[in-house]
């Protein structure tokens, strides 16, 4: 039986603000106060979802105080620390908004930018990403690795953004509902949205220096980012046709396995002839041939897994934005039919006049 979540319901609110929280007991009350000041001036319905990612301090106590005073607040608490990607996914699963806004819980993102994100969405975009142009973080441990990562991600994905690491972003739910998040993939959400055909832009946002607590991110995450980027590139290019990735590599390896004996044979036939009793070219050729066959077999297995995945879940390999069709005659209002009959009589009379001798 399929589990029913809010994601399956009709969206009942306009905006859902989703905030992953981990050990931010001093920041939470100030953050909520600032969000309230901004959202109370708006004329639309909203909700604020705090996802406590297994905090070990008094963060949950502060959140319970907030929910008692504000009916717009919802709290999702994890049993342990699962990471920011899981927190975002849980927030989306429990949301009811047509627009999803993500932001950090450390007071470095400013809630005053929320109306600006929404205004940009109203221009017709599906995703609006924040750009911390004047980022208030350590230069060598945070800003420099982030800058290199942004350039690498942009070049490999083809989605050119200045700041993939900025959590402050706005999405239309209709785009986000096609995205499934795993591992540490939250920073690549715009690229995943682009794979589903979303239109993306970015705006400059305010960024404050951290006042309380300590950062949960560091240069040690670089390896995981690179591995996740490889996953994203593979899914984007070969997600529905993995045999192209493994098969091309296998064919190349098989060609090399045939070229090596041909090269060795040519050295014996054509001058200057080289006659050696022992050569390492034959074992190398065998290695290439075995590797090529294994690569093609792996590609075929990946094809079976991909088709099983899509067919078992009835999951299409495409995303439809909307469909249009011509209305049937039965659906035309009866009040219009007499007018159509008059027009038909006029056309018939006009035609009769033209053919009269």
Q: For 252-263, give one letter per residue: b (16+ CB within 10 A) or e.
A: ebbebbeebeee
Q: Write down the pLDDT at residue 73.
A: 95
CATH of the domain at 206: 3.90.550.10
Phi/psi of residue 303, nearest 5 degrees: -60, -45
In-domain check, residue 331:
no
Residue 231 sits in the same domain as residue 246: no
Residue 148 sits in the same domain as residue 225: yes
Cα 167 from Cα 148, distance rounded (Å): 17
**What angle, rounded to 10 degrees, do the helices at 242-269 and 281-312 form?**
170
In the predicted structure, residue 329 carries a pLDDT above the cut 80 = no
- Predicted confidence band at 22 (pLDDT cuts at 50, 70, 90)? very high
- Number of domains, the chain: 2
Residue 292 sits in the same domain as residue 152: no
Residue 207 sits in the same domain as residue 119: yes
Q: Write down the pLDDT at residue 336.
A: 52
CA proximity to 313, closest of 180, 169, 174, 204: 180
Cα-to-chain-centroid distance, residue 276: 57
In-domain check, residue 84:
yes
Domain closes at, from 296, 312, 328: 312
- In terms of average pLDDT, the best of 2-6, 112-116, 267-271 is 112-116
| Strands lying side by side in the sheet with 200-204 | 73-77, 46-52, 13-21, 97-102, 169-172, 127-131, 200-204
Whether the link from the prior residue into 272 is cis, omega within 30° of 0, is: yes
What six digits make up the tokens of 99? 């627009």
Judge contact between 105 and 20, C-beta under 8 A.
yes
Domain closes at, from 208, 237, 266: 237
Q: What is the mean pLDDT of residues 17-41?
A: 93
Q: What's the pLDDT tens digit per position in 271-316? A: 776 665 556 778 888 898 999 899 999 988 988 887 887 677 666 7
Mean pLDDT value across the chain: 81
Q: What is the mean pLDDT of residues 191-211?
A: 86
Residue 180 sits in the same domain as residue 246: no
Q: What's the pLDDT tens digit per position in 210-231? A: 877 676 665 666 677 777 778 7
Residue 151 sits in the same domain as residue 119: yes
In-domain check, residue 51:
yes
- Predicted confidence band at 325 (pLDDT cuts at 50, 70, 90)? low
Q: What is the mean pLDDT of residues 323-352?
A: 54
Q: Write down the pLDDT at residue 46.
A: 94
Residue 19 sits in the same domain as residue 85: yes
In-domain check, residue 354:
no
Q: 106 or 345: whose pLDDT is higher?
A: 106
Residue 186 sits in the same domain as residue 263: no
Q: Model-level pTM?
A: 0.72
In-domain check, residue 61:
yes
In the predicted structure, residue 2 carries a pLDDT above the cut 70 = no
Q: Over pLDDT 90: what percentage of the chain? A: 36
Domain closes at, from 206, 237, 268: 237
Q: What's the pLDDT tens digit per position in 42-90? A: 999 999 999 999 999 999 999 999 999 999 999 999 999 998 889 999 9
In-domain check, residue 177:
yes
- Predicted confidence band at 189 (pLDDT cuts at 50, 70, 90)? confident
Residue 155 sits in the same domain as residue 192: yes
Q: What is the mean pLDDT of residues 12-16?
A: 91
CA gyration radius, the chain: 29
Cα 268 from Cα 203, distance rounded (Å): 66
Q: Where in the sequence is the domain holding 118, given as residue range(s)?
A: 10-237
Q: Checking phi first, is residue 23 left (phi over 0); if not, alpha (psi -120 to 50) or beta?
A: left
Q: How many residues does the chain have?
A: 357
Residue 18 sits in the same domain as residue 66: yes
In-domain check, residue 334:
no
In the predicted structure, residue 33 carries a pLDDT above the cut 90 = yes
In-domain check, residue 268:
yes
Residue 178 sits in the same domain as residue 82: yes
Residue 112 sits in the same domain as residue 231: yes
């Amino acid at each position: 039986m399929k589990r029913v979540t809010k994601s399956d319901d009709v969206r009942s609110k306009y905006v859902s603000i989703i905030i992953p929280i981990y050990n931010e007991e001093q920041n939470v009350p100030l953050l909520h106060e600032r969000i309230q000041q901004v959202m109370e001036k708006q004329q639309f319905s909203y909700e604020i979802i705090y996802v406590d990612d297994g905090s070990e301090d008094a963060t949950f106590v502060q959140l319970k105080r907030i929910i008692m005073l504000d009916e717009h607040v919802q709290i999702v608490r994890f049993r342990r620390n699962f990471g920011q990607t899981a927190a975002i996914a849980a927030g989306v699963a429990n949301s009811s908004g047509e627009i999803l806004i993500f932001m950090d819980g450390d007071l470095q993102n400013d809630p005053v930018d929320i109306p600006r994100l929404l205004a940009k969405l109203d221009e017709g975009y599906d995703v609006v990403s924040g750009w911390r142009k004047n980022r208030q973080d350590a230069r060598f441990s945070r800003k420099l690795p982030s800058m290199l990562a942004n350039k690498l991600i942009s070049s490999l994905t083809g989605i050119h953004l200045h700041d993939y690491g900025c959590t402050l972003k706005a999405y239309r739910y209709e785009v986000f509902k096609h995205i499934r998040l795993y591992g540490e993939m939250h920073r690549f959400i715009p690229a995943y949205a682009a794979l589903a055909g979303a239109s993306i832009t970015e705006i400059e946002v305010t960024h404050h220096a951290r006042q309380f607590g300590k950062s949960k991110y560091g240069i040690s995450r670089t390896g995981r980012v690179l591995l996740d980027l490889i996953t994203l590139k593979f899914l984007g290019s070969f997600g529905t046709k993995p045999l192209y990735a493994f098969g091309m590599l296998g064919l190349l390896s098989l060609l090399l396995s045939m070229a090596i004996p041909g090269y060795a044979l040519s050295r014996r036939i054509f001058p200057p002839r080289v006659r050696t009793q022992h050569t390492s070219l034959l074992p190398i050729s065998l290695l290439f041939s075995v590797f090529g066959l294994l690569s093609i077999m792996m590609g075929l297995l990946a094809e079976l897994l991909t088709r099983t995945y899509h067919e078992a879940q009835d999951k299409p390999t495409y995303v439809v934005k909307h469909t249009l069709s011509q209305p049937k005659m039965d659906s035309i209002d009866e009040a219009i039919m007499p007018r159509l009959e008059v027009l038909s009589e006029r056309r018939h009379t006009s035609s009769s006049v033209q053919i009269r001798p």
